Amino acid sequence: MQKTLAERWKLALKMYVSFFQIGLFTFGGGYAMLPMLEKECVDKHAWTTRDELLDIFALAQCTPGIIAVNTATFLGKKQAGLPGAVMATLGVISPSLVIISLIAALLKNFADLEPVQHALAGVRAAVTALIFASVWKMAKGALKDPVSIALAVIAFLLVALFGVSPVAIVLGAALAGYLFFAVLKEHGKEGDA
Amino acid sequence: MKTLLLLCLNFFKTGLFAVGGGLATLPFITDMSNAHPDWFTKADIANMVAVSESTPGPIGINMATYVGYHMFGVPGAILTTLSLTLPSFIIILILAGIMEKYSENRIVKAVFAGLRPAAVGLIAAAGFSVLLIALFPGYSGSTVFDMSGITALFSWKALVFFAVVMAATQLPKLKDLHPVAYIAIAAVVGILFKF
């Protein structure tokens, strides 16, 4: 399945266009891009799966840098090597470069404009619903056993109610995964034999 | 020239140490302003945050672009943004290589079996905090127990619209609609009904 360099660049250009769209329609950063990512990278182009998106988000959570950029780099590298990583990353940052430069030059009071504030409030309510719809689809795929369900609920409660750092959650979940799915299962098998 | 180099170096450092996204870059930018008061002021920062949050694109990238443009025009915007991006670009390239190599490893598989459900919980929690901000405009706390915004007005319009979009995403014909369509409609609805 090795792609030639020409094929990689062709795919990389396609990724630039997709990630440009994702950057252009992500309001609020971070997880707000999830519904766009899911549509473009899972449903439309099959560059990744919902499960792998969760893996990338967990990794991006505890590596430095912007989550959107980390995701673009990771998927670009996986699909089309270095050209893919470069083009997907440039794609996700290009809209910001253009829009912010224009606003900084022409419309310094952009954020205070009344229509902008109303539009953003509307977008915020809709994006929240889209995020929950995405989470629901991902949960159906990723939460199939009691341990997984418990991990998801505990992670949600710790962050939503007690403001625990996501980095701590990711490290704890990695350890729990190792204990439950590697160590305990091994013991289970020995017990059965 | 020297200032531009120093500015890029500062954003490279931010990209290397700001973990978690969103407003994680903000403390670094405040530090920059403290160390170099002639670069930009606290009022500039407040304006940057407002613009970054109300325009599309990752907030950290928007802030870097704004500072770069503010100080050196378009070349500055491009260079600061690339400086911020470069550290995580390199780190993720290395990580992606390692993951491809060990994806079939038993321990790696177990670790990710634990990470995936936690990521579901984290994203749901993030969605929940955005929901609080959408329903209580003016709410500024970070958890449910943080009641700093409890006196903020409850927005019935936002709640109804949230419920409508939520229902639409479950309907057979509408559920495959591109998120772009929802976002465009939401912006129009927000302006028309004065959210």
pLDDT per position in chain B (195 positions), as tens? 789 999 999 999 988 888 766 677 888 888 888 888 888 888 788 888 878 877 888 888 888 999 999 889 999 999 999 999 999 999 999 998 888 888 889 998 899 899 999 989 988 888 887 788 778 776 655 555 555 555 556 788 888 999 999 899 888 877 778 888 888 899 899 899 888
Measured between CB atoms, which of B47, B122, B128 is closest to A166?
B122
Q: Which DSSP state fits B56?
A: B
* Assigned token pair, B158: 């936002």
Identify the DSSP state of B183: H
Q: Which residue of A has its CA nearest to B11?
A: A65
Q: How many domains does chain A have?
A: 1
User: For residue A48, is it within any domain?
Assistant: yes
Q: What pLDDT sits at residue B151?
A: 53
Tokens describing residue B2: 């020297």
3-state secondary structure of B146: coil
**pLDDT tens, residue by residue, B61-84:** 888 999 999 889 999 999 999 999
Among candidates A66, A117, A177 on the partner chain, residue whose Cβ is nearest the Cβ of B112: A177
pLDDT at residue number A33: 84
Q: In angstroms, rounded to a whole number, what is the distance separating the alpha carbons of residues B101 and B123?
A: 27
Question: A64 to each of A145, A184, B60, B87, how far by Cα in Å?
Answer: 31, 32, 12, 8
- pTM for the model stands at 0.83
Tens-place pLDDT, residues A18-35 = 999 999 988 766 677 888
Q: How far is C-alpha B156 from the chain's CA centre?
A: 26
Residue A98 near residue A29, CB atoms below 8 Å: no
Residue-number span of the structural domain to which A22 is assigned: 5-110
Nearest CB among A32, A82, A125 relative to B162 is that of A125
The two most distant CA atoms of chain B are separated, in Å, by: 58
Q: Which two tokens stand for residue A159?
A: 């962050």
In a domain, A66, yes or no: yes
Query: Phi and psi (nearest 5°) for B56?
Result: -65, 165
- Write down the pLDDT at residue A106: 83
**CB-based burial, A58-89: b 16+ in 10 Å, e otherwise:** bbbbbbbbbbbbbbbbbbbbbbbbebbbbbbb
In a domain, A63, yes or no: yes
A44: distance to nearest CA of chain B, Å? 10
Q: Is residue A125 part of a domain?
A: no
Domains of chain B, residue spans: 2-102, 104-151, 155-195
Return the structure tokens found at B122. Answer: 């984290």
DSSP letter for each residue of A32-81: GGHHHHIIIIIIIT-SS-HHHHHHHHHHHHHSBB-HHHHHHHHHHHHHHH
CB B183 to CB A27 under 8 A?
A: yes
In a domain, A15, yes or no: yes
Asked if A177 and B113 count as a contact pair (C-beta separation under 8 A), the reply is yes
A26 touches B: beta carbon within 8 Å: yes
Tell me whether 0.85 is exceeded by the ipTM.
Answer: no
